[in-house]
Every structure is written in C-alpha cells, then in structure tokens.
C-alpha cells in the first residue's frame, strides 16, 4: 500500500453500539405530516432494470423497517436518485426503465407516486446511446440535460413544471474543435456523462468515443485526457475548454453523479479511469472561485491509495476538508465489481491525502447508482449493504472515524437513497 491506513481506535465501542442501535419501533408510513423521510431500495440487481421501492416516513427511521408498504411506489430504475431541495428525480422511468427525467411525488399521507417524465426527442437514439436524462438543476425554473437525439447540444427544462423544449445550448462547434479528421472517433457528445454548475458556470464533459455500439462513450475514450466545456450561464455562452490529464471516463450514466462540493465551495470530480475495472482513476478539484482544474492537487488511485492491484473511485462526498470514499479492497473483475463485499469506506484528508478506514460500517457492495453518503438533519449517513444480509444506513462520527447503525431494512431490497423533504 502507498499510504499508511489509520485504523480508528474505538472499534470496540463501535461494535457495542451496533448491538444497541435498533431499539425503537418502526416508524409508520402513511401518517399525515409535512416532513417526510424518503427511502429508495433496489430489490433486483440482476435483471438490469433495477426493480425496487420508494417509501416515505413521517419520522427518521430507527430499528429494522420494511420499505415495501401500502403507500410505497414499486417499479423499475430504483438504483438511486438525484435531489434538489424538496424534489426527487430519477433518470429511469418507473414504468418501463426508459431513460429521461422522472419526478417523484410524495403526498402528505406518505403515498409515493410517479410524476411527469421528460423523454428523449428520439427514443430510438436514447435506447442506443446511454445517458439521456443526465441533468443538473440551476434553480427552481431552470435545469440542463443531455438527450441522445441531439448529442452535441445541452437541452433546457423547468424542474418545477417538468416542461422541456425550452431551447438548448449548441456545443457542436466546440466538440468539433478536435478530432474531426480522426477515423477512430465514432461518436461525439457534450454533457452525456458530466454536468455540474458552480459559480454560475455550467461544466459539461466532451465525449470522443471509440465505439458506436451499446454504452457508447463509456470506458472507450479516444483521447488520454478528459475535456470539459465551461459555459457562462449569465447568457449561456461558451467560455473555454479545460482538461483533466491522463485519465478517462469522467462520472457515469446514472443518478450517482460522482462529484460533490466541499463546505468552502470547492468542486471534486471523479474519473473512473480507462476501463470498467479501473486504470488511471483519479479525483480532481476545481477551487471555489476558479474555473480551471487545480493543477496543484489530485487524488490518484495508484499513487495515493495503492499500486498493489487495479481499482477505481466510484463516488465522492465532501465536507469540511475531508472526502468520504468507497474503495475496492481487492482487484476488480467483471464478476466481483457489482456483486461482492469488497467496497470499504475511507475518510481522506484533502490536505495530506491520508486515507483513514471508517469502522463500524460493513465492507459491502458497489453503491452503483446510489450516493454512498448523504447528510440528513446534520448527520452524515453511510450506505452499508452486503450480499449476505447487512443493509441499512450508518451514522458517521468524524471525530473517531467510526459509524453506528441508524436503521436497517429487511424488506424491499438494498438501500440506494435517503432524503428528507417538506411536502409542498
């Protein structure tokens, strides 16, 4: 290992706490109230359509709960979600797994239903080229998303009314600034995998793919660097292109957007690397008041975590100068990446790049489309889900890098998202 992993000294305390965490009765969905704690679980990791459930609770869950109740929403595309304030969105339609943007509705009585859905302008293109519905929200009235029907344009929508066809930002000329004479580039796009907003600037990745088959644009980068267009949202005009050196596959095509903002406004972005099982994976930074990649800092899987085996970063949570990551504990293969208990939580000090193991939360499965860490009521909760039974959220204590079980789920599948809203 390249780094000396710092094991927290309070492991015995953490284990003891786990045995006393589940003491209260289950909170009951369906009681009228303005505040709801919304939980999504994934019951089917095999078929590819990600069947599962969404339920709403009046109180913060404790003990062991079911996520499949009378008021729950059952359907497909339950691998994760993206949230904005009191709103919840999925990139896959609950009814049939079509790609796009679906809004989830939660009623005062706790009933969860599907809302409006923004689909591709060309469903056949969306079925061929993954990523339709990758989106980011600027404010209550404006959001931006990618549609395979027009791959070098970024579409606009209203996230409150779910109105689409509000125009687009055409980046065709920007994409074509490089590689127009390269026969090896089979597909080009803008914003297919990565869209983020910081300081009234929109950041959109530029894809140059070597394949033109399924999952085009993912783990098939033509160039050794990743390119990102910067758009000024004051008038929605292109400003410049920046690049991340010697990596590949920025972010991905699901609800886990693979970036986060630290408390001071710095933006941290995950690049998974050259292949689905890693290689040149890294996390980079754009500082709060800057628009360029910070050349003084990056977290490299090989040089900063380990060069003993291949692997990658698959998400990031940033807070108070620390990152929370899940990292594979053994070499990745096509068989273990999504189906084995090999993903361990670490806290990383941004300044020193020291990795500290987080104890108390089980080494589990790849979070995939789920955000591995969320903050609810001022508490950081970590997703702990294994193939052999452990399944719930664990409250993180940053002072001793330990976690204790907040609640577990025994019906509905693996936890894949948790969010608090006020019913409007």
State how far the Cα of 43 lies from the Cα of 243, in Å rounded to an integer.
38
Place of tokens 């344009």: 153
Contact 346, 322 (CB under 8 A): no
- 208-229 residue pLDDT tens: 999 887 667 789 999 999 999 9
21, pLDDT greater than 50:
no
Pairing of strands 63-66, 402-411: parallel
72, pLDDT greater than 70:
yes
Contacts 24+ apart (CB under 8 A), 120-129: 120/147, 120/148, 120/149, 121/147, 121/149, 121/150, 122/147, 122/148, 122/149, 123/98, 125/149, 126/98, 126/99, 126/100, 127/99, 128/214, 128/216, 129/187, 129/189, 129/192, 129/216, 129/217
Angle at 194 between CA 310 and CA 74, to 5 degrees: 90
pTM (two decimals): 0.92
Helices (H), 229-375: none
DSSP string, 121-180: SSHHHHHHSTTTT-EEEEETTEEEEE-TTSTTEEEEEBTTTTB--S-EEE-HHHHTTS-T
Distance in Å from the first CA to the final CA of the chain = 50
Contact 272, 248 (CB under 8 A): yes
State how far the Cα of 414 lies from the Cα of 392, in Å rounded to an integer.
8
- DSSP 8-state code for residue 340: S
pLDDT-based confidence at 287, cuts 50/70/90? very high
Place of tokens 């600037």: 201
pLDDT-based confidence at 6, cuts 50/70/90? very low
Contacts of 173 (CB under 8 A, 6+ apart): none
Q: Measuring CA to CA, which residue among 366, 340, 354 is closest to residue 401?
A: 354
Domain ranges of the chain: 120-251
- 255-284 residue pLDDT tens: 999 999 999 999 999 999 999 999 999 999
Sign for the CA dihedral angle at 419, 421, 423, 424 comes to negative
Cα 215 to chain center, whole Å? Answer: 18
Rounded (10°) CA dihedral 196, 254, 189, 187: 160
Mean pLDDT of all residues in 90-112: 97
Place of tokens 């609950």: 94
Q: Name the strand (E) or helix (H) holding 74.
A: strand 73-75
DSSP string, 190-239: EEEEEEEEETTEEEEEEEEES--STTTTSS-BSSSSEEEEEEETTTTEEE
State how far the Cα of 227 lies from the Cα of 243, in Å rounded to an integer.
4
Mean of all residue pLDDT scores within the chain: 92
pLDDT-based confidence at 48, cuts 50/70/90? confident
Contacts of 124 (CB under 8 A, 6+ apart): none
DSSP string, 378-409: TEEEEEEE-TTS-EEEEEEETTTTEEEEEEEE
- 306-345 residue pLDDT tens: 999 999 999 999 999 999 999 999 999 999 999 999 999 9
């Amino acid at each position: 290992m390249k780094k000396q992993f710092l094991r927290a000294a309070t492991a015995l305390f953490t284990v003891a706490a786990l045995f006393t965490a589940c003491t209260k009765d289950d909170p009951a969905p369906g009681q009228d109230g303005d505040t709801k704690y919304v939980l999504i679980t994934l019951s089917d990791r095999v078929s590819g359509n990600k069947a599962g459930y969404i339920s709403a609770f009046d109180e913060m869950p404790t003990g062991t709960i079911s996520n499949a109740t009378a008021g729950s929403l059952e359907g497909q595309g339950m691998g994760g979600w993206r949230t904005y304030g009191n709103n919840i969105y999925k990139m896959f339609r609950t009814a049939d797994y079509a790609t796009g943007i679906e809004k989830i509705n939660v009623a005062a009585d706790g009933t969860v239903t599907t809302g409006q859905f923004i689909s591709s302008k060309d469903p056949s293109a969306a079925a061929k080229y993954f990523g339709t519905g990758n989106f980011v929200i600027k404010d209550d009235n404006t959001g931006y998303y990618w549609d395979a029907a027009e791959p070098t344009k970024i579409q606009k929508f209203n996230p409150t009314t779910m109105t689409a066809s509000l125009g687009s930002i055409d980046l065709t000329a920007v994409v074509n600034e490089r590689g127009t004479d390269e026969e090896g580039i089979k597909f080009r796009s803008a914003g297919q995998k990565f869209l983020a907003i910081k300081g009234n600037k929109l950041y959109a990745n530029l894809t140059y793919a070597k394949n033109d088959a399924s999952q085009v644009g993912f783990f098939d980068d033509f160039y050794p660097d990743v390119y990102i267009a910067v758009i000024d949202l004051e008038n929605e005009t292109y400003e410049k292109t920046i690049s991340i050196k010697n990596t590949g596959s920025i972010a991905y095509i699901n609800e886990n957007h693979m970036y986060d903002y630290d408390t001071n406004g710095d933006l941290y972005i995950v690049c998974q690397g050259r292949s689905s099982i890693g290689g040149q994976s890294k996390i980079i930074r754009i500082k709060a008041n800057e628009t360029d990649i910070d050349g003084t800092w990056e977290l490299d899987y090989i040089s900063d975590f380990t060069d003993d085996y291949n692997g990658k970063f698959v998400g990031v949570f940033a807070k108070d100068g620390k990152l929370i990551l899940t990292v594979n504990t053994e070499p990745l293969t096509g068989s273990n990446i999504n189906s084995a208990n090999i993903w361990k939580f670490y806290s990383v000090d941004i300044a020193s790049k020291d990795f500290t193991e987080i104890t108390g939360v089980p080494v589990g499965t790849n979070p995939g489309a789920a955000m591995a860490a969320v903050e609810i009521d001022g508490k950081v909760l970590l997703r702990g889900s294994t193939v052999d039974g452990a399944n719930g959220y664990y409250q993180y204590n940053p002072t001793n890098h330990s976690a204790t079980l907040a609640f577990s789920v025994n019906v509905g599948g693996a936890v894949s998202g948790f969010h608090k809203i006020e019913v409007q």
